[in-house]
Structure 1
Amino acid sequence: MSPEICILPFLGQGHLFPCMELCNHLASRNFHVTLLISSTLAASVPSSLRQHPLIKLTQIPSSDSGPHHPPRPGHHDELAKGLHDALSDNPIRPVCAIVDVLMSWSAETFKKFEVPTVAFFTSGACSAAMELAAWKAHPLELEPGETRFLPGLPDDMALTCSDLKRRRHDPTPHHHDGFPPPPPRGPGPGKMGPPRLGEQPPWMEEVRETIAVMINTCDDLERPFINYIANHIGKPVWGVGPLLPEQYWKSPGSLVHDRDVRSNRRSSVTEEEVTQWLDSKPRGSVLYVSFGSEVGPTMEEYTCLAQALEESCEKQPFIWVLQPGSGRPGPPGFGGPEAEGEGYFPRGLDGRVGNRGLIIRGWAPQLLILSHPSTGGFLSHCGWNSTVEAIGRGVPLLAWPIRGDQYHDAKLVVSHLKVGYMVTDDLSEKVTRDDIVKGIQRMMGDGEMKKTAEALSAKFRHGFPRSSVAALDAFKNYIIQRFVK
């Protein structure tokens, strides 16, 4: 009988999506896979995954009302009990569990059932490697104009004064998709959210008891960073991504329809309306603006962005995605029409820009937009999923990181891969209308950068990266040799 593997994702779409794709890859290697998922996220799992003969969905009961509400006290204890019950009810002991690094509270439960764990980073390798290298280079104090090279990492990732200038994100009780990260397990450096520059990364504590590490990336994008982490922790480290839908890899020259691969959520537009609007625009002319569902600029910065899109880019067609609650502290949540006044809402902008702009409120078909030939640039927070979705389709980025690993993803895009610009050199200050205008004009007008982006995306034209196929095969061999009798 095929061995069983459990996968435990963190709460939130950005973590769930790659875990669902990982289920498919492992099932194709003849593993039985159990996706252990909070009941609040179960509706996000498509029927194609539920109906797969080798994949089982096990819900961990959760009394919380949804991913955009902070959990009540004791929520992690409730999840731990649910995990314990799920493992108790399973007549077969899994050969291992692949656990999101933000779910470290589960370690004691898996240990009790003698299930070895593999740590899984749903973000890229660069952010983890940079956190580690910056900690080892401590203290981090740079003079104006000084550059600090980080031993073991590419020279183009050297730290500069501008890298150290970060505005603190508005403090809220929320983390990814509304949930705080779990409390640190036992003594150690675990803290809320990612480390400040120069602090020991909390993930080092989380991977200490694991047998190996998986990262949602590939050699073509991040080989130096994968190797750096592997050399430091002395365990197998596999780049097994980017874990994007199979349709994304199968259709490099055609549109990807989000509705076919991701559960539909509420939106002010249909995919047909988005496609029709994009079809009416010249090739490579459209600027796509989206900050995902978790973070965004301040209310004041949204006003600057609206002014930049309306007044200063007169011929620039754009798609702007606005989540209800945009500009407010904490993650936006879709509360229906009555919630629209709670965040930034550019009343009248639709009429003033006419057909030059498409403003989407709520869920946007991002894979469709990025795969359409009319899309020529992406103003993004540089969350990892958004970053790799753009890179794989040859779309340059204008990076506006807000928090955490987004700063490292932005530096990877701008300095190492050279397929984007920063929206401003000083992220400790408010981003202004002029910053945005100049950034858009630089990115959309840079033909050489577009060629670089297209050359990088060409590495993915043959489908899912070969290095990641090899890494998943190596993981299978490692598990079978060590744990399957």
Structure 2
Amino acid sequence: MSAGAHVLLFPFPALGHLIPLLDLAHHLAIRGLTITILVTPKNLHILNPLLSKNSTINILVFPFPNYPSIPFGIENLKDLPPNIRPTSMIHALGELYQPLLTWFRSHPSPPVAIISDMFLGWTHRLACQLGVRRFVFSPSGAMALATMYSLWQEMPNAPKDQNEVFSFSKIPSCPKYPWWQISTIYRSYVEGDPVSEFTKEGMQANIASWGLIVNSFTLLEGIYFEHLRKQLGHDRVWAVGPILPKETIDMTPPERGGSSTVSMHDLKTWLDTCEDHKVVYVCYGTQVLLTKDQMEAVASGLEKSGVHFIWCVKQPSKELVGEGYSMIPSGFEDRVAGRGLIIRGWVPQGWILSHRAVGAFLTHCGWNSILEGIVAGVPMLACPMGADQFVGATLLVEELKGAKRVCDAANVVSHSAKLARTLMESVSDESRVEKERAEELRMAAVDAIKEDGSSDNNLNAFVKHVLGLGSETDEG
């Protein structure tokens, strides 16, 4: 294999960012690229399923940098306490600049390109210093990325009222959001985050980088991909999604995962006893911690609905319980015994959604969840909570007509009765139109990733582009 085909992948250590980039690594490795993945020690285990399938993938382990506000031992965003801004982790990882520079310069056959997460914009400066290309990897969709790039290009000031509506007038369909729903990273910057200049430089470096790889597909977000090409001023934009593990596509038991209170065997047994399309799957992602009031509202909605459900719950630490976050309400599990399964910890989400018993998905509209819901052909109920989830909900509900909006972070508590009603309707005969639309979106996703589909062709085109960079290096 040509040394000119060597690429460094640098994921951001948050599961929603890390896992899709690892799945991309697999696709690039089977197409002949030599891959090195940079991780810190405590995230190394997440790579095990990937390494078992790909002997050509190398691992580069660097210690997580010491950083004042990040408690010792925390190396993944999911473990970061809610009172510490995510930008602290972005800034901390910037300390790997010099070690990476040294590694590149001492390597006998260094990478010709860096593919790094959109939160690692500083790697563009490193790539320029080394004379290699940097490609941004976006685990968010094209519409969300277009709004993010627009903010960092236009640099709007914060309004006095957080509910004041901000309009993205240059983006197709002119999406509008109250200020509190705008990108958390950007709002941190204008509010005077201590590491704000580093964040700004990194985000603007994404726009200046050589190319962009997005975990989405053309038929889903075509107008936003066209807009991104205009925003960036070039065509080096590859829509390669949905990048999902094989088990999500073909319903085989998942190989990866973390600790969970429900075994795979018990989960399968429980689902197998349920009727087709009658179970609602509820999950707010790996980052979202519900407040006590929100937790009680969701529990109340599930209890009143009478539906069968699986609820994946992120549990707060004991310290956070005293700060307004909550465990499952006392007595709830007894009252829903038999029809409700509560899972604390990791869940094989793609596998659950693909099970015949699941008929609806109450989701926070994280991008990976949206893609997994689409691939499974399951109608979704949108309840965005933060970050790019409000944009994801807009795309899913207004643009694609692939979900029903239930509530958001601000009104979960007051919408408990509406939630119960919507949950009942979602698994009834009334949801026929939603089911038909979900099936259309599923077929579009499957077509994109099959051989000679749009995403498959984009992956091949990207690999060809990187091999061309390797040839330039060999000639130089």
Shorter-chain TM-score range: 0.7 to 0.9
- The equivalent of 1:224 in structure 2 is 223
Aligned partner of 1:54 among 56, 59, 79: 56
Q: Does 1:478 align with 2:465?
A: yes
Contact 1:288 1:375 in 2 (8 A): yes
- The equivalent of 2:105 in structure 1 is 88
Contact 2:171 2:227 in 1 (8 A): yes
- The equivalent of 2:343 in structure 1 is 360
Alpha-carbon spacing, 1:327–1:107, altered in 2? closer, same or farther (3 Å): farther
Contact 1:166 1:427 in 2 (8 A): no
Deviation at 1:140, TM superposition (A): 11
Deviation at 1:381, TM superposition (A): 0.7
Alpha-carbon spacing, 1:147–1:89, altered in 2? closer, same or farther (3 Å): closer
- The equivalent of 1:454 in structure 2 is 439
Contact 2:365 2:384 in 1 (8 A): yes
Deviation at 1:257, TM superposition (A): 1.8
Contact 1:420 1:443 in 2 (8 A): no
Q: How does 1:380-459 map to 2 (within 5 A)?
A: 380-424=363-407, 427=410, 430-444=413-427, 445-459=430-444
Contact 1:167 1:427 in 2 (8 A): no
Alpha-carbon spacing, 1:167–1:29, altered in 2? closer, same or farther (3 Å): closer
Alpha-carbon spacing, 1:108–1:147, altered in 2? closer, same or farther (3 Å): closer
The alignment partner of 1:104 has SS state of coil
Q: Quick check: which one's helix share is greater?
A: 2
Query: 1: distance between equivalents of 2:240 and 2:181?
Result: 32
Alpha-carbon spacing, 1:443–1:136, altered in 2? closer, same or farther (3 Å): farther
| TM-score normalised by length of structure 2 | 0.82
Task: Report Cα offsets for 1:414-463 as digits up to 9, x if no partner.
Answer: 01111111113894685431232233244334210111101211224457
AA aligned to 2:247 is Q
The alignment partner of 1:415 has SS state of helix
Contact 2:305 2:421 in 1 (8 A): no
Contact 1:101 1:206 in 2 (8 A): no
AA aligned to 1:346 is P
Alpha-carbon spacing, 1:183–1:241, altered in 2? closer, same or farther (3 Å): farther
Contact 1:422 1:439 in 2 (8 A): no
Aligned partner of 2:276 among 275, 283, 299: 283
Query: 1: distance between equivalents of 2:11 and 2:409?
Result: 34
AA aligned to 1:243 is I
| TM-score normalised by length of structure 1 | 0.81
Query: 2: distance between equivalents of 1:233 and 1:428?
Result: 36
Task: Report Cα offsets for 1:196-217 as digits up to 9, x if no partner.
Answer: xxxxxx73x1224311111111
Task: Report Cα offsets for 1:242-277 as digits up to 9, x if no partner.
Answer: 11112333x1xxx3422x2x2x31111111111111
Task: Report Cα offsets for 1:397-417 as digits up to 9, x if no partner.
Answer: 111111121100111110111
The alignment partner of 2:114 has SS state of strand
Deviation at 1:82, TM superposition (A): 3.4
Task: Report Cα offsets for 1:160-218 as digits up to 9, x if no partner.
Answer: 5xx427469999xx99xxxxx994666x845xxxxxxxxxxx73x12243111111111
Alpha-carbon spacing, 1:256–1:326, altered in 2? closer, same or farther (3 Å): farther
Query: 1: distance between equivalents of 2:46 and 2:14?
Result: 10
Length, aligned pairs only: 440
Contact 1:326 1:343 in 2 (8 A): no
Aligned partner of 1:257 among 250, 253, 259: 253
- Bigger Cα displacement from structure 2, 81-90 vs 362-371: 81-90
Q: Does 1:245 align with 2:245?
A: yes
Deviation at 1:482, TM superposition (A): 4.2
Deviation at 1:111, TM superposition (A): 2.8
C-alpha RMSD of the superposition: 3.6
Query: 2: distance between equivalents of 1:411 and 1:105?
Result: 30
Gaps of 5+ in 1: 176-180, 191-201, 333-338
Contact 2:272 2:357 in 1 (8 A): yes
Query: 1: distance between equivalents of 2:351 and 2:99?
Result: 37
Q: How does 1:8-407 map to 2 (within 5 A)?
A: 8-49=10-51, 52-62=54-64, 64-66=72-74, 67=76, 68-69=79-80, 75-76=92-93, 78-132=95-149, 150-151=169-170, 153=172, 155=173, 158-159=174-175, 163-164=177-178, 166=180, 183=195, 189=200, 203=203, 205-235=204-234, 236-249=236-249, 251=250, 255-258=251-254, 260=255, 262=256, 264-310=257-303, 312-314=304-306, 316-325=307-316, 343-407=326-390
Contact 1:298 1:327 in 2 (8 A): no
- Bigger Cα displacement from structure 2, 435-444 vs 382-391: 435-444
Contact 2:183 2:387 in 1 (8 A): no
Alpha-carbon spacing, 1:48–1:152, altered in 2? closer, same or farther (3 Å): closer
Alpha-carbon spacing, 1:170–1:313, altered in 2? closer, same or farther (3 Å): farther
Deviation at 1:54, TM superposition (A): 1.9
Contact 1:9 1:100 in 2 (8 A): yes
Q: Does 1:468 align with 2:459?
A: no
The alignment partner of 1:46 has SS state of helix
Query: 2: distance between equivalents of 1:210 and 1:483?
Result: 18
Contact 1:296 1:381 in 2 (8 A): no
AA aligned to 2:402 is V
- The equivalent of 2:68 in structure 1 is none
Contact 1:36 1:59 in 2 (8 A): yes
Deviation at 1:147, TM superposition (A): 12
Task: Report Cα offsets for 1:207-252 as digits up to 9, x if no partner.
Answer: 2431111111111211111111012211211111111112333x1x
The percent identity for this pair of structures is 27
